[in-house]
A and B are shown apart, each in its own frame.
Chain A
Amino acid sequence: MATRHAVPGRIPKPAPQEAVRVVRTTDSPNCTGACGWLATVVNDVIVDLKPAADYPCEEYNPRGCLRGMSMTHIIYGPDRIKTPLIRTGERGEGKWKEATWDEALDYIAQKMKHIIENYGADSMLLFNQVVGTSYVQKGAQIRMAALLGMSFATAYDYNGDISMGFTQTLGIDSVECESKSWGYAKYAILWSSNVLQTRMPDAQFLTRFAKQRNGCKIVAIDPRCNQTVKAADLWLPITPGTDGALALAMCRVLIEENLVDWQFLRTYTDCATLIRQDNGMRLRASDLGMGGENEFLVWDQTRQDFYKLPTDTLELPEDVNPAFKGEWTVQIDGEAVKVVPVYQLLETMVMQDEYRPERVAEITGIPAQTIRQVAREYATTKPAIIIIGMGINHRYHGDLTIRAILLLSALAGNYGTPGSGVSIYSGQHHFRIDISGFWFPEGKRPNVVPLHYFVLGKPTETINPKIKYPKHGFKALFVSHGNPLVTEFSSLMKRAIDNLELFVVIDFSMTPTCEYADVVLPAPTFWEKYDLVATGCHPYLQIQQPVIPPQYESRTELWIVQELVKRVAPELYPYFDLTELDAIRILLETAGKETEGITVEQLLQGPVRLNVPDPEIGLDEQLLHKKPFPPRAYPFKLEQQKEFLKTGRMEFYKEEPIYQQMGESLPVFKPAFSHLPEEDQRLPLCIVTPHSKWRVHSTHSNNPLLLNVNRKPVVEINPLDAAARGIQDGDLVEIFSNYGSYRLWALVTETIKPGVVCVDHGWWDRYLAGGKYHSVHTHQKIKPTHEAYFLPAVYAPGQHWKDTRVDVRKVGNNGATGNVD
């Protein structure tokens, strides 16, 4: 497959004869694709990339997309870091000294030792983005953090991808069916999910299998006529932030029209559990002396008595007929306490006038008859799937929205078969296997502190006591595989970094984050080192291979860790005296039933399906085997998760006092921007920052090949909004808020709802016409309910990037600066 052929002419010319090597590897930069590639290598130079298309399940082939295809221009890209760099000027000034590895490592080690001695190892924070993409290299860094006792900031929650709505309802931060399951759907609701752009290798399960083979009806809910709407039969251009109301109105339709699946509610949900009207807590078996603290009661209509739900299974005896409506009075500690089932509360809530479709139509902009029609179709078409995108999750009240959607799905009972359920694909955070064996030697774990608190510079008042904010604050930050200074809170982040004694960035491209570092260490790209990867989108475990040797002076993360440990804590070196393949072997052996029987040799041949059901439908164990919720979130123990899902069922009622205080025990609808300061709420436009196909977050932002097609950052704006501001297509404009502003070009388009503007996520500042990318969003706010418990990246604070209001003004004419050469 070498491709050094010229265009065949009339007079045939032989292709150059060279020693060609073809290597199978995996590209896995947190796009959730984890696609197999065949790289053709000549003289240690990659000359061609083609999808490997070697998945045993034919439907998964070929996978791959334009970003994998253009990896060559990152690997050999202009921004590639060639040697370690040590800052000589001020932070961000751009003055560097090219250093040898010894110089750089000695410098870092000496600083580390100083910090450990004076402040403690937990003052050093490691932040490596989305650890699920790299079980070995990122794992090695975490292994070091664990053994040294450093702090570690999970990315999933900081990115806002953690779906607290899922955690609150299901006890796990996200649920995903393998994308093959989409193909079985007969009805699909893409709720703010732009899968045609964000899950490209899997999109064919919608367009080719669901649509073309199954005649699936696709409904897209999004304020933009985004790329996925292209494949939709019905598009609901919703007003941003009102999705929760829409979901609840649909729930109401199901109730009004008798479309509720009682059997599903009976088995899988907490709808029959009883809530005490005195303190809002659930009625426990212990309250009535019928059992333990964490056993819950329902009212059995058959026996006309309370019935204790089993804790080891979801299965109820056939004759148990729990009541969903009614009111009972019980004596607890000598006091008469009224109890009502959760369902009764839910029904009362959604039957309030504010959730009447006609009323919801006014705030969402979706006609009542459509709300009824979609609800009806969703409840009556089986299997029907809901795919949730991050647009509704990256909100302060995103958890409420998702809880409402989950309620809708439960009422419809659209679960249990391929092509049903609710899936949320939120990056490769999700561990497919238990990585503890390699990451946490002898059970030692790093001190996990969500990055929010680092950015805030201090703990909140409501911080969960399980989070150990370092006594002396943070003194050092190690960023690897990440570019946090290109995210929406970058100005706050910069301020936090300014207080550090050491800021090390490990990367292959000279990113805006690297530019602010004290020491930059050159890492190989994913194509120059071994790793083990998996994704939520498909169930194949794959190996990443060094297709070419590490370029320039770059060294793998494992090597860097080994060298640092040698210098900082030589006694720990034996833990790191291994190769990447050794690490993979450890992982395969210790990861549990999913990897049972899988060997490195198999993986070197190609993708190997994990020992998971085929097809995976999401919540398989619960739906198929009636095992209580939550499904296990690796690498934690079920007990840890059960803490916040005590009923072992889908919880649509949260009893914890903080939820009650905030009025969020039930999945109510709260207006999206209500938590913002008054002056922010007054800004006329809301802004969304979706992922584009040109980048994986900020990776590929600087890929010259993709820039050639993508060219420049634009803000999408409706002609009505544009006209009101005198903006024409291509004009140089400024987006501004009370926090900051940045300049880019206007794309006046009919595909966006008036009142909404949109800028692609992940542009590096240098491509803007001015300002700092998305500096309009600079408030970091943690929702107190997210602090009720803490389990790293499972129950942790989310993020609210999308709750931003802005305005746009024209600053230049079309053409004046509009054309990028």
Chain B
Amino acid sequence: MARLAMLIDLTRCIGCDSCTLACKQEHGTPMDVFFARVLNVEAGTFPNVKRIYIPVLCNNCENPACLKACPNKAIFRREDGIVLIDQERCRGAGACVSACPYGNIILTDRDRWYLPDDRAYERDYVRPRLKEQVARKCTFCAHRVDEGLEPACVVACPTTARIFGDVEDPNSKISQYIAEQKQTTGREPFKLLPEAQTQPANMYLGTMAAQEVSTLEAPSAPSARWEEAKRQREPERVGVAAGAARLFAKITALWLLIMMLLFVLQAVAQQNGSAPTPAELYSDSSCAGCHGPTAMGGLGPPLAETKRSLEEFRKIVREGRGMMPATPPSEMPDAEIAVIHDFVQKTKLDPSQVPISYKVGQWLGTSQVTLIFSLVTLVWLVLTLRVLWYWADCAGWKQLQPYLRKFGYGRAMGVFLRSLVMDGLLVAHLWRRDRFRWAMHALMIYGFLALGLADILMSVFNPMRGSLPITHPLKLLPNLAGLAILIGIIYVRYRYSEDPYIDNGLTLSRDYAFLSLLTWTILTGFLVEGLGYAGAYVFIQPAYILHLLLVAGLFLTAPFTRFQHAFLVPVLMALTKVTSQVAYSGVELGFLNEPSPGRHHKSERIAEDVLRHVAPELAGKFRLRYYP
């Protein structure tokens, strides 16, 4: 094991961009694609102005956001700590582009090149090196490292500002340099954006130049100057749009909350339940499944000594109550009901025979189950939002705001929603690249959606859950959906066993956790169905409870397992789309003039972070420039 890392000494760095160009040379990257770059920061106002250069490259994080965001396991982490995007594997979804909080991943629609087509140099020796339309980033020059060489940017740095090596080895160049600098210059290395929790490998040492200024020039009021800049960045008309958008978001959230509360209240309101006998008929009936073979109760309440009249009894059977499904005359004629009612009424209730399961079952009334699932949903929602918030933060959502204001929130929302539908719901991206994989995704996604839909339809058209023939559309839909998911799972399991890319070095156990939960959820779902058809009523209830438990587990773990990619990837892809639209809209010169347009806002975040270390008083008053 090793932990390769790079230390960048900002005192030595002269901002010459040799690393930028050495990297282009080494990787043969196309136009506008820069794996290594140098942020050129000017901070403060004349004359109290400072300059700082911040070389940035892939941080090869220990907890890489990109890797976790990749829907396709194309990103993996090697034993030496290098995080790579497998060019063969990547399908260019672009989730990682937004996920990387440092803006170090680049995905371009089409590669553009520098030289005429007849130049053998580029045509034969450069262009073929990188695959088009896949996500790309700095590789720490893994191919050189494998040959025992240092990365190109390290060997090309004319001021040896980059120190490379294994931080776990105390004798390595990098470890020694850190120790030596601590001693001689008292500088401690720091890492970028610790709040992103990615645990970067790369470290920075602060600049030693005091950068004081001495002049008779009257200091301009810095705050006023930067306020002015800010004001210019947020024109008035966009202010209105921003307000409207914010209001809209608040109303939507409130509405969702109210709807959820109503749903819970309604479920609580739908309470109550109970029922009757004659011995043989009774014990063969579906009643016995829940109310016990001797009517002393099971998961359902005991029916012995029922106080209900036949009319009440029949009504309950016909219409169902709580979890108890409605039973049509075709399954249980009125006469049979009367017999059963008579039987249970006459049976003596022996409290000692009432099984413990009744107490559980009684508690598991429809209202409670609904309540529990409402809670589960709520927890799921909170966790999911938290996870989404984390990723939105990685995507630089906050830093993007000023540019979005300029771009227009409405317009951004449009791009976002369109992408959610296209990339999320329709998986259009896969459709273009790999129809088979699209089909497999479709099985799962539409299977899930159909299950949800079936549930809703059932509540609307068969609220009492009366048993339905298997050919009934309300039965057919969930069963087919389940089947689709099942096929999907079988394929995924097959793929997991065959696919060399499946272990990305970080998430495999979580991936399997999800897969197992999903498998068992679907299997128990079918088990419940099957038991019903087989008439093994006694087993239905426990199987059903198990199924519910699995569903709850599936949802509660969803934000942390592979499940998350179902909602996270579309959101990240949509964010990527929004960012790139903003970049190319020309609302901010910086976006377009920077290397690899679209990461300006993340670079600003990095600059702010570094300034906090080297010139805290200027942390909010800086800008990135793309000219020397």
Contact = CB atoms under 8 A, between A and B. Distances in A.
B367 to A, nearest CB: 51
A73 B115 contact: yes
B512 interface: no
Contact of A7 (B51, B142, B207, B216): B142
Most buried by A among B11, B142, B213, B626: B213
A637 interface: no
A237 B21 CA distance: 31
A500 to B, nearest CB: 33
Contact of A48 (B11, B26, B49, B160): B26
Interface in A638-652: none
A705 B14 contact: no
A76 B115 contact: yes
Interface stretch (A382-390, A417-425, A661-669, A707-715): A707-715
Contact of B586 (A6, A365, A711, A815): A815
B125 A45 contact: yes
A696 B303 CA distance: 97
A588 interface: no
Given A204-B160, A711-B626, A751-B51, A366 B84 contact: no
Contacts of B209: 211, 218, 230-233
A236 B47 CA distance: 9
Contacts of A63: 158
A77 interface: yes
Contacts of A293: none
A152 interface: no
The 3 closest A-B pairs by CB, nearest first: A5-B143, A204-B159, A704-B114
B192 interface: no
Interface in A56-82: 62-66, 69-70, 72-73, 75-78
Most buried by A among B20, B25, B34, B86: B25
B14 A196 contact: yes
Given A10-B500, A78-B115, A211-B209, A814 B143 contact: no
A11 B88 contact: yes
A43 B124 CA distance: 11
Contacts of A232: 209-211
Interface string A486-502: 00000000000000000
B155 A51 contact: yes
Interface in B83-131: 84-89, 114-116, 119-122, 124-125, 129-131
13 contacts: A66-B20, A69-B22, A208-B161, A227-B628, A235-B211, A237-B46, A365-B216, A366-B215, A709-B17, A728-B232, A750-B49, A753-B46, A815-B586
Contacts of B625: 747, 749
A50 interface: yes
A819 B589 contact: yes
B287 to A, nearest CB: 58
A600 interface: no
Interface residues of B, number: 90
Contacts of B155: 50-51, 53, 62
B225 interface: yes
B372 interface: no
A730 B627 CA distance: 12
Given A211-B208, A237-B213, A225 B21 contact: no
Contacts, number: 275
Contacts of A728: 232
Contact of A10 (B11, B17, B214, B501): B501
Contacts of B589: 729-730, 814-815, 818-819
A370 interface: yes
Nearest to B592: A819
Contacts of A208: 11-12, 159-161
B11 A212 contact: yes
A473 B32 CA distance: 50
Contact of B46 (A15, A72, A78, A752): A752
Interface residues of A, number: 94
A235 B17 contact: no
A374 B116 CA distance: 54
Contacts of B592: 819
B501 A204 contact: no
B158 A65 contact: yes
Contacts of B85: 7
Contact of A203 (B143, B158, B627): B158
A78 to B, nearest CB: 5
Nearest to B126: A47
A209 B28 CA distance: 33
A237 B217 contact: yes
Interface string A193-206: 00011001101100
B11 A367 contact: no
Given A230-B209, A708-B31, A203 B115 contact: no
A693 B156 CA distance: 15
Interface string A806-819: 00000000110011
Interface in B463-477: none
A56 B150 CA distance: 20
Contacts of A718: 46
Given A76-B122, A751-B42, A196 B157 contact: no
A352 interface: no
Interface in A340-383: 361-362, 365-367, 370
A688 to B, nearest CB: 13
B52 interface: yes
A8 B628 contact: no
Contacts of B628: 197, 227, 692-694, 710, 760
A4 B125 contact: yes
A425 to B, nearest CB: 15
A218 B24 CA distance: 33
A212 B12 contact: yes
A720 B45 CA distance: 11
B139 interface: yes
Interface string A715-733: 0101110000000111000
B25 A237 contact: no
B71 to A, nearest CB: 16
Contact of B11 (A200, A207, A237, A752): A207
A711 B156 contact: no
Interface in B150-190: 152, 155-161, 185
Contact of B215 (A197, A237, A720): A237
